[in-house]
Amino acid sequence: MAKPKIRLFVEHGLNVGNSVPLTQDQAHYLFGVMRLGVGDQVLLLNSRDGEWRAEVVEAAKRRGVLRCDVQTKPLQMPPDLWLLFAPIKKARTDFIVEKAAEMGAARIVPIQTDFTNSERIRHDRLQSHAIEATEQCGGTYVPEVAALSRLDRVLADWPADRQLMFCDEARVGPAETLADASKGPWAILIGPEGGFSEAERNRLIALPFTTPISLGPRILRADTAAVAALTLWQSALGDWQ
């Protein structure tokens, strides 16, 4: 039997025989856009129960029901890695969230810095982008997108056991590695388009859990820096090894 190509994130529990009702948007996508009908199959995930093959048992314009048949992939948790970034222009912020989900971040944290240009985000839209990226890349766990928080407050409540990779644009030079760093809970911090303020940089460098690094000889755009930093971390300490 060919593996279904459509993957769908749902909130309901997944197990043999479970009925999974669809939202109106999901029903429109499956039956109106993709033209599926009763008897067709899709893959489901919910960040808890892995990936399951399910069959359409009810199909209507605005509703539908799927039945779970068999697990096709166990839950695969990403590394314990957070990505902290300052929101930028809408499309580039969307790109950062999508790539973070694809590349294995477990939590995505938008932050407000001294020079952050955007003071508001559409949290529901960004979470939807994380879901769509996970559906498309074959993952079974959708990272949480946190609410926008001030950097100083995030640092004040920082978990004692989590290390922070601080991508400091002032350290332009040869790209640095994490070859000697220890594994465990980590986070990556990417600054805004205007960079970090001097006060923020001084505080970050002084923190005992911070590892400042350079991402190379050129100053990268924020969305490029996020992908570069995730690649560096995954190559040294993540699940790419």
pLDDT the model gives residue 156: 95
pLDDT the model gives residue 1: 62
185 shares its domain with 201: yes
In this structure, is residue 42 part of a structural domain?
Answer: yes
66 shares its domain with 85: no
Q: How many domains does the chain have?
A: 2
In this structure, is residue 30 part of a structural domain?
Answer: yes
Domain end point (choices 73, 97, 130):
73
163 shares its domain with 106: yes
46 shares its domain with 102: no
In this structure, is residue 213 part of a structural domain?
Answer: yes
121 shares its domain with 227: yes
Is the pLDDT score of 128 beyond 70? Answer: yes
Extract the tokens encoding 163: 């290390």
**Confidence class of residue 65 from pLDDT cuts 50, 70 and 90?**
very high
Is the pLDDT score of 186 beyond 70? Answer: yes
63 shares its domain with 86: no
Q: What is the CATH number of the domain that holds 43?
A: 2.40.240.20
* Residue 97 CA: distances (Å) to CA of 3, 69, 122, 192, 205: 27, 32, 12, 15, 26
164 shares its domain with 100: yes
* CB within 8 Å of 200: residues ≥ 6 apart: 113, 114, 151
In this structure, is residue 2 part of a structural domain?
Answer: no
Q: What is the CATH number of the domain that holds 198?
A: 3.40.1280.10
Question: What is the average pLDDT across 205-225?
Answer: 92
Strand partners, 111: 149
pTM for the whole structure:
0.93
In this structure, is residue 156 part of a structural domain?
Answer: yes
Domain end point (choices 24, 40, 73):
73
Is the pLDDT score of 205 beyond 70? Answer: yes
**Confidence class of residue 174 from pLDDT cuts 50, 70 and 90?**
confident
Domain end point (choices 31, 51, 73):
73
- For residues 64 and 179, the model is more confident at 64
Question: What is the average pLDDT across 166-180?
Answer: 81
Q: How many CA atoms lie within 13 A of 74 on its CB side?
A: 2
pLDDT the model gives residue 179: 74
20 shares its domain with 89: no
Is the pLDDT score of 28 beyond 90? Answer: yes
Is the pLDDT score of 105 beyond 80? Answer: yes
Share of residues in the chain with pLDDT > 70 (%): 99
Question: What is the average pLDDT across 99-126?
Answer: 91
Question: What is the average pLDDT across 197-225?
Answer: 93
Residue 221 · residue 89 · CB < 8 Å: no
97 shares its domain with 124: yes
94 shares its domain with 179: yes
102 shares its domain with 189: yes
* CB within 8 Å of 81: residues ≥ 6 apart: 104, 105, 106, 107, 185, 186, 187, 188, 233, 238
Is the pLDDT score of 241 beyond 80? Answer: no
88 shares its domain with 64: no
Q: ∠ CA(49), CA(99), CA(77), 5° rounding?
A: 25
In this structure, is residue 46 part of a structural domain?
Answer: yes
Residue 145 · residue 180 · CB < 8 Å: no
pLDDT the model gives residue 175: 72
- For residues 118 and 149, the model is more confident at 149
> Hey, which bits of 95-171 come out as E strands?
107-112, 144-145, 149-150, 163-167
Domain that holds residue 56: 7-73
Is the pLDDT score of 135 beyond 90? Answer: yes
In this structure, is residue 1 part of a structural domain?
Answer: no
pLDDT the model gives residue 2: 74
Residue 41 to residue 7: CA distance in whole angstroms: 10
